[in-house]
Chains A and B, each alone.
Chain A
């Protein structure tokens, strides 16, 4: 356990904040806890480090908390769902479980025959799944020495993503193996990647309908599992600069909205929406490749790493410079909402759940509502589709509000 200094300013083009005491070698993976703003980074200097990220309004500070070391570079990390324990695996072919919140020592819980490339904790099954370059996927019950199940893969595991019950494993030679975790002993499906080159990263849709696959050729593919939705599959190019084609190193879905971020070796990270096939926001390029990235549990902080680690706080940058995450409000999924007499009163842009811009509908029924009700918040709304004309970003916005007087 080491002691570190305070937070530092930075010269990042995106005005992101650099963490205190960054690792001395490049970061291989980043992981936020699902319970608190604890960030864990594994790096090629054999260390696993943890910071606590504190957000005070528009500023972020990071406080280094603890670190452990492996014998060899560490490649992957995952938090347990209760936010107390970190798993980390790497070139020493082991996975260590580190109960860091309680201050415990790391314990080896998993072994492979070759470096462990990726791992994930499956809370619904209380199992740890690890993928390695020895072409196996192993499931571990932490109380036992031996793996619960060993799954053979066609090739070395390069990426792994889990969204119960969907699990997708990307291997070398462009194989993508899909598992249904309710039946983990058999592959659900095996597809060849829709991209033409090596698979680099994967991300499962939050609704488990499919997954994203990123490759080294600056392309991301969106793949749906259901054959009926196969028409919605597509690929798009990103992270290219003229003739230079960089690889997409990390794909992360925003935990709240259904948008995702890609980070690439060109030093840029972008935000996209797969349903509308739009790029929402392109951040400025940094000077080094981005190796990994992560969102925190509520999506208000985005951490990305190269040699150091930077944090992007979405509340800090001025509005015009920020990406707008929007939620689709599809009424036809919730007809009862309409029937209860919702009425458009206010259009509000939500930036990470904090209202930034409010536009009040001029034609609200004066006869019925008292003036005081206009100040009532839109807290009843469950989702928004945003519309905005004053700024150069236009999206449709509807905020529905249930009026008690309008039953």
Chain B
């Protein structure tokens, strides 16, 4: 190979001098075993003696791959993350005549030995490589032998069936886009499997079949709540039998819900679109509700939302400034559940407000309430957000307007919403005429329940 153009460069080994001397002193010793092994990002700056004429790819990590060297055979492979080791593959030292597709901070790895016809820059090359193999050992595996004799390497899958599983069983990325609408069968399978095998001992719980996805069964009761209630009742003189009775009823109703889900596993779909993991085809939330024998109004709700699901691709990022959007049937995003993509916007105060519309009270109400109210939580307009900046006394400024408009747009009658809206009355804001209106504007709906005369 002719050498023209760039002159012969001496490769500069960019080890810090101190460690270099250390390493060399170790190397002189015969017994040196690389207990140095640590992860050290060492970036070597080498200059190839062939310069631009070299047939190998001269790349450094973190640089975009531009093939400047004119050889088509050198495919510029995309450089993955900066490799702290820089060249762990190079230590194999196989003479390698073909172009090295991997990004190679040496510029050419060991091939240089083939070229190094006495180029004094390379004399120490073999040594250097040896140094590298000594110094750079990826120490990322270790084996733990414990009293249970679980023999683990970092990624091994050996475990004792009797011992509790120590291996992390699932490594799904959190951005798993769970498209229940497209692959409803697998979701159903997941649900059935879960309800069959993975039943926790505490039954009064919500359940969601997809990680980071909405709940299929809502209505959580924690141990402490149940216990606190029991203690409270006992204090007020309720006898133990009635307490037990009540708890048993709770348990049975919850078990029934789970059974229903198992028999008709319609999963709550999360994202119909692949792009948005957290936008929700919340319409199908209604589906399990329908399973529970909900009113016909809700069934129509589910059918409507089922169709609207497919159109959700249009609106992954509905903006909050448009309450009109909720009038539109084809906005399935209106049914979103509590997953929120709104990290960036300051309109975050939104959901806090709507927590109160989620009328689920833990004791005795069916999960339907939670299911229906969950989608309702999502709507609000930042403009009407009184929470921010209010003093302490005003926090409880809920607004239930948007959910109602949305649902009316969907065809639910007002009454059905009000049936499930068990918000405790906070403000004495009674104007009964409001309840007779057909449609509300933002901010008009009072917070407390309508008087029963309006509930048909």
Chain A residues in the interface with B (C-beta under 8 A)? 28, 44, 72-73, 75, 91, 115, 117, 133, 135-136, 146-156, 158, 172-175, 185-198, 200, 215-218, 221, 223-224, 227, 230-231, 233-241, 244-247, 265-266, 268, 270, 276-282, 321, 329-332, 335, 338-341, 343-344, 347, 361, 363, 365, 385, 392-396, 398, 406-407
Query: Shortest CB–CB separation between residue B383 and chain A, in angstroms?
Result: 15
User: How far does the Cβ of B388 sit from chain A's closest Cβ, in whole Å?
Assistant: 6
Contact with B18, one of A156, A158, A340 (Cβ below 8 angstroms): A340
Binds A, one of B50-58, B198-206, B410-418, B430-438: B198-206
State the Cβ distance, A133 to closest chain B Cβ, in Å: 7
Q: A146-B391, A198-B206, A235-B169 are in contact. List 7 more A-B contacts (CB 8 A).
A: A156-B220, A175-B338, A187-B351, A198-B220, A240-B164, A279-B144, A363-B31
List chain A residues, Cβ under 8 A from B163. Answer: 282
Q: How far is the CA of A221 from the CA of B169 in the complex (A)?
A: 10
- With A155-B358, A197-B206, A392-B145 in contact, do A150 and B392 touch (Cβ < 8 Å)? yes
Which residues of B approach A to under 8 Å, CB–CB? 16, 18-19, 22, 25, 29, 31-33, 35-41, 84, 139-140, 142-148, 150, 152, 154, 163-175, 194, 198-202, 205-209, 211-215, 218-220, 222, 224-225, 227-228, 231-232, 278, 337-340, 343, 346, 348-349, 351-356, 358, 360, 362, 370, 374, 377, 387-388, 391-393, 395-396
Which of B139, B163, B232 has the most CB atoms of chain A within a 10 A radius of its CB? B139
Contacts A151-B352, A174-B208, A278-B166 known; A190 to B174 CB distance under 8 Å? Answer: no
Q: Are B353 and A152 within 8 A (Cβ)?
A: yes
Q: Are B392 and A147 in contact (CB under 8 A)?
A: yes
Write out the residue numbers on chain B whose beta carbons fall within 8 Å of the beta carbon of A117.
224
Determine if B209 and A196 form an interchain contact, defined as CB atoms under 8 angstroms apart.
yes
CB <8 Å contact, B22 and A343: yes
Q: Is A186's CB under 8 angstroms from B40's CB?
A: no
The residue of chain B having its C-beta at the shortest distance from the C-beta of A385 within the complex is B139
Which residue in chain B gives the minimum CB-CB distance to A386? B142
Give the nearest-CB partner of B222 in chain A. A158
Known: A231-B173, A245-B199. A361 touches B147 (CB 8 A): no
Known contacts A175-B338, A394-B144: does B377 contact A154 (CB below 8 Å)? yes
Contact B144 A172 (CB under 8 A): no
Question: Do A241 and B164 touch across chains, with their CB atoms under 8 A apart?
Answer: yes
Task: Tell me the bound Cα distance from A347 to B194 in angstroms.
Answer: 47
Docked Cα-Cα span, A406 to B164, in Å, equals 49
A173-B374 in contact (CB<8A): yes
Q: Are A192 and B144 in contact (CB under 8 A)?
A: no
What's the Cα separation between A266 and B174 when bound, in Å? 28
A68 to chain B, nearest CB (A): 19
Q: Which of A278, A280, A341 has the most CB of B within 10 A?
A: A278
Contacts of B172 in A (CB 8 A): 194, 233-235
The residue among A223, A235, A246, A280 with the most chain B CB atoms within 10 A of its own CB is A235
| Partner of A192 from B37, B338, B354 at Cβ < 8 Å | B338
Contact B339 A191 (CB under 8 A): yes
Closest to B36 in A: A344
Given the complex of chains A and B, what is the CA–CA distance between A265 and B223 in angstroms? 12
> A234–B144 contact, CB under 8 A?
no
Q: How far is the CA of A197 from the CA of B207 in the complex (A)?
A: 5
What is the minimal beta-carbon distance from B422 to any residue of chain A, in angstroms?
A: 13
Contacts of B16 in A (CB 8 A): 335, 338-339
Are the C-beta atoms of A190 and B351 separated by less than 8 Å? yes
Is the pair B142, A395 in contact by a Cβ cutoff of 8 Å?
A: yes
When the two chains form their complex, are residues B22 and A406 in contact, meaning their CB atoms are under 8 A apart? yes
Question: A236, B29: Cβ atoms under 8 Å?
Answer: no
Residue of A with least CB distance to B140: A276
Most chain A beta carbons < 10 A, residue from B38, B148, B171: B38
Contact with A407, one of B18, B348, B351 (Cβ below 8 angstroms)? B18
A235-B168, A282-B166, A340-B18 are known contacts. Are A192 and B356 too (CB-CB below 8 A)? no
* Residues on B with beta carbons closer than 8 Å to the beta carbon of A198: 202, 205-206, 220, 222
Asked if B154 and A237 sit within 8 Å, CB to CB, the answer is: no
* A394 neighbours in B (Cβ, 8 Å): 142-145
The reply to whether A153 and B352 form a contact with Cβ atoms under 8 Å apart is yes
A391 to chain B, nearest CB (A): 8
B residues near A240, Cβ cutoff 8 Å = 164-165
CB distance from B30 to the nearest CB of A (A): 9
Closest chain-A Cβ to B25's Cβ sits at a distance in Å of: 7
- Asked if A173 and B165 make an inter-chain contact with CB atoms under 8 angstroms apart, the answer reads no
How far is the CB of B143 from the nearest CB of chain A, in Å?
A: 5
Is the Cβ of A173 less than 8 Å from the Cβ of B38? no
